Chain A
Amino acid sequence: MNLTRPTFFLAALMAAATLSGCVSQPQPLYYWDGYQQQVYQRFENTSSAEEQIAALEESLQKARAADRALPPGFHAHLGMLYAEIGKADQVQQQFETEKTLFPESAQYMDFLMRKFAK
């Protein structure tokens, strides 16, 4: 019969649309990668500041390449690490970036920039 093929096709299309609707989940707001593991390593002192910076900078590059946003505090955390190895210009840059991305952080970032800028 002429009706069966287009009907079957329509049914298959509807099924696919329904299934894909059920399975899809929203993407996380932020690109987490290994950020929280790096935070824990810092707390537990299981790696050096330089190693942590390297890992975070790598996450930063991956996030950029994937056009994803880095989490709240990521840049400020990186700025703190740069301060600990004496890279003053990087400190400023990271805290300013945090402030730009998250204006909620402005007052705290200003406080940190005053403290860390020595």
Chain B
Amino acid sequence: MPFPNLLKALTALALSMLMTGCVTQQPYDYSAFKESSPASILVLPPINKSPDVKASYSVYSHITLPLSEAGYYVLPVAVVDETFKQNGLMNADEIREVSPQKLHEIFAADTVLYIDITEYGSSYMIISSEVAVAATATLVDLRSGKELWKGVARASTAEQQQNSGGGLAGILITALVNQVVNTLSDRGHEIAGIASNRLLSSNPVNGILPGPRARPTTPR
């Protein structure tokens, strides 16, 4: 056999690559989250890193649903926004600067959720009708200052029929994508809804944990 050492090396390399591919994702470490056991979430206006100015309020208007259905009290986003405005804080970047102590003093929520929108709309596409929304979220305990959870999600009109997530939620989301009416003006907003639901619904793999108001799940 020619090049026996090379063949051995390549085989070893291939095997090691296969092995790392087989290693499953580390389950999320929920210890800080469980210790915190929060009941309420203050969501700040999302910081927009996309070129579309509508992104922040679009996502902001969607987040109450998944977080509330997950079992948390979510402070009313429009009222929170108004409180910041009345204190001279007009944009999301300024609001992000407010100290956790100050936030806790005014809003008295157990946690704060910071959202960054990394994609919104179709501005990155050259020849495409794809509309995508992507965001990251970080949940921080306002009492201890500890980070409890971090998440990321993306939704796009280019998604295939296959269910990307798990179970019933994934099927519902896929159905929603298929039913979306192609109204160009509001497509970003509709996709933002899907992205927000993916980002902030509770799921046992890497999503937020169910909150105190969640319906207890009865095992079958």
Same complex origin of A and B: yes
Q: Contacting chain A: which of B58-66, B125-133, B141-149?
A: B58-66
Is A28 part of the binding interface, using a Cβ–Cβ cutoff of 8 Å? yes
- Tell which of B57, B60, B75, B107 touches A73, judged by Cβ atoms closer than 8 Å: B75
What residues of chain B lie closer than 8 Å to A30, measured between beta carbons? 68-69
Q: Contacting chain A: which of B7-15, B26-34, B79-87, B150-158?
A: B79-87
**CB nearest neighbor in B for A26:** B215
What residues of chain A lie closer than 8 Å to B74, measured between beta carbons? 72-73
A74 to B106, CA, bound (A): 19
Is B90 part of the binding interface, using a Cβ–Cβ cutoff of 8 Å? no
A71 to B68, CA, bound (A): 7
A58 to B35, CA, bound (A): 41
Is B73 part of the binding interface, using a Cβ–Cβ cutoff of 8 Å? yes
B213 with A29: CB separation less than 8 A:
yes
What residues of chain A lie closer than 8 Å to B58, measured between beta carbons? 40
Is B78 part of the binding interface, using a Cβ–Cβ cutoff of 8 Å? yes
Interface size, B (range): 35 or more
Q: Taking each of A21, A25, A104, which has the highest tally of chain B beta carbons within 10 Å of its own beta carbon?
A: A104
Is A5 part of the binding interface, using a Cβ–Cβ cutoff of 8 Å? no
A108 with B61: CB separation less than 8 A:
no
Given A73-B74, A108-B107, does the pair A80, B61 have CB atoms closer than 8 Å? no
Is B122 part of the binding interface, using a Cβ–Cβ cutoff of 8 Å? no
A71 to B79, CA, bound (A): 14
- Tell which of B79, B214, B220 touches A80, judged by Cβ atoms closer than 8 Å: B79
A44 with B57: CB separation less than 8 A:
yes
**CB nearest neighbor in A for B39:** A104
Q: Closest CB-CB distance, A72 to chain B, in whole Å?
A: 5
- Tell which of B62, B78, B109, B214 touches A42, judged by Cβ atoms closer than 8 Å: B78
What is the 8 Å Cβ interface bit string for chain A, positions 48-79, against chain B (1 contact, 0 not)? 00000000000000000000000111101100
State the B residues within 8 Å of A (CB).
39-40, 54, 57-58, 60-62, 64-65, 68-69, 71-79, 81-83, 86, 106-110, 168, 189, 213-215, 220
